[in-house]
Amino acid sequence: MRDALASGAVIAVAWTVGHLGGWRSAEVLLFALAGVVGGRHFLREGIARLRGQRVVGIEVLMAAAALGAAGLGLWDEAAVLVFLYAGAEALEELAYARTRSAIRRLLALAPQDAHVLRDGQEVVVPAARLRPGDRCVVRPGEAIPTDGVVVDGVSAVDESPVTGESLPVDKRPGDRVYAGAVNRHGVLVVEVTAAFADNTLSRIIHLVEEAQERKGRLQSVIERFGRRYSPAVLAAAAALLIVPPAFGQPWMPWALRAVVLLVAAAPCALVMSTPVAIAAGIATAGRHGVLVKGGAHLEELGRVQVVAFDKTGTLTAGTPEVTDVVPLGGATSSDVLVLAASVERLSEHVIGAAVVRRATAQGVPLAAADDFRALPGMGAQARVDGAVATVGSLALLRGCGIPAETASAAAARLEEQGKTVVAVARDGVVLGLIAVRDRIRPHARDALRALRRLGVRTLMLTGDSEQTAAAIARELGIDHVHARLRPEDKVRIVEGLRARGVVVAMVGDGINDAPALAAASVGIAMGAAGTDAAIEAADVALMADDLRQVAYAIRLGRTVRWISAQNVVFSLLLLSVLVPSAVLGAVTVVVAIVAHEVSELLAVANGLRVARCRPA
């Protein structure tokens, strides 16, 4: 930018000298100086590309046009051309810097210092020196210095800079927290789990900046076109200089047309059609908790027709919870829950843990149990207050000789709703049933509705039973269900869709769904904050466990594709007018310069509109 401003200042002085009169030599010298000052940077770039990559870039075309104009005595036009091109390049770089700084500003959210507990005393140390195992005190209003686990205190933490989650999240001992998140209320003691350079915030910045260097498909096509187009323009300009004069035409008018052609045909706006939009899109996504690992993936998101979801850990939280307690034969709900929880608290099964959590939440006093015996795949038995308590499937009760006919009808109704049924019996008499189901993620229904509004079809790919999968699908409004699948079956379904030309995104937890994520057109990992495996497995990582970000990512991809297409069409239409006009002598150097630079600035400004695409 400094070179462009200096060049403009020298041009202003040259015009002033010219208006004073009688100073033509000084005026020409000043215009030449303006050209050197403004053009030295992009000329070096053009020569470096020509030498290193054997590519004739736009810089070479503009330098040739400026030298040609100067050779024809059009010193002011040559200087203005260099000034405007250097200014446009500087503004383009500012646009890139804006998208980069939008992400790098996140780094400033993490504090420079941390209050570390050493021998029972608080010591202020630079955050960069924190190491795993250190314990930090974070007071209300302070930002968390690096990733860690809460070991003491309860508070609400604003994680929006990291995960894009707009509402503060309650944190208590055992919960993870991330660098840059802001503690809102109580005092927290956080045990550091990652050094500052390795924390989630630093990884986000690194991944986004790395992604901005990866080109999209359309951008790569345009660059390949440019490698052939620029030499062709140089050849056409040379032909205008040589061929007409060889047939007796005056040299000067054709030389002027050659210079105008070099300016008019430079495809700056075309080359800038997609990079700014993609860079802005990746940065915008990163600010809202969506990591896109390259321009090609962002473009592919805009083409998605089908989204396939894993169930457990994706559509559901992966944590079972009690939904129903059904007493039978005169027992009460409390009788059923007390007996079941007294047995299950000795179990390590996830369903047993859900029963105990329900009893604890209701404040039910548990009884002492002994002679506990786990029956893998069936349930458990124990002696509670001298009575034999059996907790498990109806098949377990029948196997123990306990009549379960009275419970069969109620169990069937619960199973039709996709719930797992646990029967509870005491001394051979069924007291009741407990129904358990995996909890559907918050906002899952909103996310599926948003996808339907975008015209995207949805699938569920799960290893669960048909009955459970169908119940969840009905509740969420999923279009198609495939149940009882192994990991290789998910891959086969995804590959089958792609073989039919369907662009499919796979959403999973990023670890056990890695094969299907890799097979999809776009792999999207859920809950990637702090999970290297999830980020590694997928093309897109959602930092928060919020399925609504899937629809946002697709909408952002469509916006990038639409704006890129607008720029490409505009640039090609402009070239289709300017190039013939230059050859026919219908435009001047000044008109070509203004049209060229204005078109480039319009392409950059249009690309930056992507930053306005925010989650609904």
Nearest residue to 127 (alpha-carbon basis) of 54, 59, 194: 194
How far is it, in rounded angstroms, from Cα 370 to Cα 558? 61
Distance of CA 613 to the CA centre of its chain: 13
Nearest residue to 184 (alpha-carbon basis) of 220, 215, 149, 139: 139
Contact between residue 610 and residue 283 where contact means Cβ atoms under 8 Å apart: no
Contact between residue 38 and residue 83 where contact means Cβ atoms under 8 Å apart: yes
Nearest residue to 85 (alpha-carbon basis) of 604, 564, 598, 581: 598
Could you give the count of Cα atoms lying within 13 Å of 262 in the half-sphere of its Cβ?
Answer: 31
Instruction: For residue 31, give both structure tokens.
Output: 């215009």
How far is it, in rounded angstroms, from Cα 386 to Cα 127? 58
Provide φ and ψ at 459, rounded to 5°: -130, 155
Residue 136 DSSP SS3? strand
Continuous segment of H or E residues that includes residue 458: strand 457-461
How far is it, in rounded angstroms, from Cα 349 to Cα 377? 10
Instruction: For residue 254, give both structure tokens.
Output: 């054709």
Contact between residue 200 and residue 164 where contact means Cβ atoms under 8 Å apart: no
The residue from 3, 158, 310, 539 that is catalytic is 310
Contacts 24+ apart (CB under 8 A), 337-341: 337/362, 337/364, 337/434, 338/364, 338/365, 338/366, 338/367, 339/367, 339/384, 339/389, 339/391, 339/424, 339/426, 339/431, 340/389, 340/391, 340/422, 340/424, 340/434, 341/366
- DSSP, residue by residue, 421-457: EEEEEETTEEEEEEEEEEEEPTTHHHHHHHHHHTT-E
Contact between residue 110 and residue 145 where contact means Cβ atoms under 8 Å apart: yes
Residue type, 574: L
How far is it, in rounded angstroms, from Cα 5 to Cα 400? 90
How far is it, in rounded angstroms, from Cα 553 to Cα 563? 15
Residue 202 DSSP SS3? helix
Annotated active-site residue 310? The verdict is yes
How far is it, in rounded angstroms, from Cα 447 to Cα 313? 15
Residues making up the chain, counted from first to last: 616
Residue type, 557: G
Name the residues annotated as catalytic. 310
